[in-house]
């Protein structure tokens, strides 16, 4: 990845081609981060276009929260590719098990952050689906589903990266956040 432009600067077609290429990265973590960024963008749109249903202050607050999540998620696209590249290099170098476990633990931070951000995006989407502009309910529900998918995908990556590291608090935190995300989704059915 070094020396190359960031993934977020690619066209959609080029990004998809990079994802499909016979290279280890970008991969699942990048896809999860992109899904989350799309979910947050839809939340921002729904919040902006819900002025009649929400107070201006509440709409502005929801828009700002969605934009923060969108920006953070977008930055994780490149961050995940870089973190995964470190894991690949350690394995290629046939690094000792301790070093590989260390880089896997560090790599788990990115999908963990995706799950954390997805919890916020799912809650925003649920609020917008329930209280926002009815004409944008489909967009809010799409955002909710994209955020939920991003969280579930990223949770799998956290579990894989931390396999064999029983007792890592991130494993419990992932399950807790997935539960909160499911509750947000159930509220709007």
- Using a pLDDT cut of 70, give the percent of the chain over it: 97
Q: Is residue 103 part of a domain?
A: yes
pLDDT score at 135: 96
**Range of 142's domain?**
24-188
**pLDDT tens, position by position, 46-68:** 999 998 899 888 999 999 999 99
Q: Is residue 12 part of a domain?
A: no
Cβ-contact 81, 30 below 8 angstroms: yes
**pLDDT tens, position by position, 70-88:** 999 999 999 999 998 888 8
Mean pLDDT value across residues 112-125: 97
pLDDT score at 1: 41
Separation of alpha carbons 13 and 17, rounded Å = 6
pLDDT score at 30: 94
pLDDT score at 101: 86
Confidence of residue 154 (pLDDT cuts 50, 70, 90): very high
Q: Is residue 172 part of a domain?
A: yes
For residue 141, the domain's CATH number is 1.20.120.680
Q: Is residue 7 part of a domain?
A: no
The number of domains in the chain is 1
pLDDT score at 120: 97
Cβ-contact 26, 56 below 8 angstroms: no
Mean pLDDT value across residues 36-43: 98
Q: Which ranges in 22-168 belong to alpha helices (H)?
A: 28-48, 56-92, 97-107, 109-131, 137-161
């Amino acid at each position: 990845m070094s020396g190359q432009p960031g993934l977020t600067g690619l066209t959609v077609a080029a990004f998809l081609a990079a994802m499909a290429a016979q290279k280890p990265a970008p991969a699942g973590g990048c896809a999860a981060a992109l899904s989350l960024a799309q979910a947050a963008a839809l939340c921002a749109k729904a919040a902006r276009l819900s002025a009649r249903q929400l107070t201006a202050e509440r709409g502005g607050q929801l828009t700002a929260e969605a934009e923060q999540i969108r920006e953070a998620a977008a930055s994780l696209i490149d961050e995940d590719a870089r973190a995964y590249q470190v894991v690949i290099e350690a394995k290629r170098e046939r690094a000792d098990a301790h070093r590989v476990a260390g880089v896997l633990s560090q790599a788990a931070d990115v999908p963990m952050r995706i799950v954390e951000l997805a919890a916020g995006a799912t809650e925003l989407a649920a609020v917008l689906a329930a209280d926002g502009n009815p004409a944008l309910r489909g967009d809010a529900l799409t955002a909710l589903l994209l955020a939920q998918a991003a969280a579930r995908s990223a949770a799998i990556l956290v579990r894989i990266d931390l396999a064999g590291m029983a007792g890592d608090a991130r494993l419990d935190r992932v399950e807790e956040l997935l539960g909160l995300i499911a509750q947000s989704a159930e509220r709007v059915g």
